[in-house]
Amino acid sequence: MELPNLPSAASLLPLNQRNARRFVDSFTPLISAQLSRFRLPHDLLQDAVQETLVRCLRGLKHFRGDSQLSTWVYRIAYREGLRAQEKLQRDRSRAVSLSPLAEPADSAPTYSPSFAAEQQDEVLRVRTAMDTLPNEQRLVLGYHYLDGLSVHEIALLMSSRPNTVKSWLKRGRDSLKSTLADPSSEESA
């Protein structure tokens, strides 16, 4: 997947209301797609998108240009996704400790059998298989195959070495291949 034609940092400065709107309109879909990989509940996902946009707009005048603007935005969104995940885990552990009978809200998407066509079943199988992967593998696969980021860009984004990213990609692909090839995984979906 190629990134849409995104504005450059220079074209967004000076940051005024018009340029801020251009930034928000251009980057909101990318930020939302990235943060959705963290499997957050809808309200927390929207908060994380909004917080990412605010952080980006506040920091735009300090953007040095060492990387592409989109990589810089992805990095901020990645950190915000981690913060939101930590908040969700804290909230869930508090809810469990306050009320042992309370169940945390399920953030996984629900699918109605009436909409289940062959392609939707396959998407569900892949999504379910992706959900079983460790965070790093799931995020790296999404960044690489869905967002079209290179191994080097992902390494910068996740503060990792390129060889580590390659390892996560390989392990993730191998896990998906075995999970999707396993007939018992079809029964559980």
Letter string b/e over residues 36-74, b meaning 16 or more CB atoms within 10 A of that residue's CB? bbbbbbeebbebbbebbbeebbeebeebeeeeebbbbbb
Please report the DSSP string for 124-186 in residue order. Answer: HHHHHHHHTS-HHHHHHHIIIIIS---HHHHHHHTT--HHHHHHHHHHHHHHHHHHHH-HHHH
pLDDT in tens, 30-53: 999 989 988 889 999 999 999 999
Identify the domain boundary among 106, 141, 160. Answer: 106
> Quick one: 92 and 156 in the same domain?
no
> Which range has the worst mean pLDDT, 58-62, 78-82, 110-114, 150-154?
110-114
The CATH number of the domain holding residue 122 is 1.10.10.10
How many structural domains is the chain composed of?
A: 2
**Cβ of 17: how many Cβ atoms within 10 Å?**
7
pLDDT grade for 82, boundaries at 50, 70 and 90: very high
Residue with tokens 């989109």: 70
| Angstrom distances, CA of residue 64 to CA of 9, 21, 23, 26 | 9, 21, 17, 20
Name the residue type at position 75.
R
- 189 domain residue, yes or no: no
> Which range has the worst mean pLDDT, 22-36, 121-135, 156-170?
121-135
pLDDT in tens, 55-69: 999 999 899 888 889
> Quick one: 72 and 120 in the same domain?
no
Say if pTM beats, i.e. exceeds, 0.85: no
Predicted local distance difference test score (pLDDT) of residue 51: 95
> Quick one: 87 and 126 in the same domain?
no
54: pLDDT strictly greater than 90: yes
Predicted local distance difference test score (pLDDT) of residue 173: 92
Tokens of 52: 């990412």
Nearest to 160 by CA among 133, 138, 136: 136
Distance from C-alpha of 151 to C-alpha of 146, rounded to nearest angstrom: 13
The CATH number of the domain holding residue 90 is 1.10.1740.10
- Residue 137: Cβ-neighbour burial (10 angstroms; 0-12, 13-18, 19+): buried
Percent of the chain with pLDDT over 90: 40
Predicted local distance difference test score (pLDDT) of residue 79: 93
Identify the domain boundary among 58, 78, 106. Answer: 106
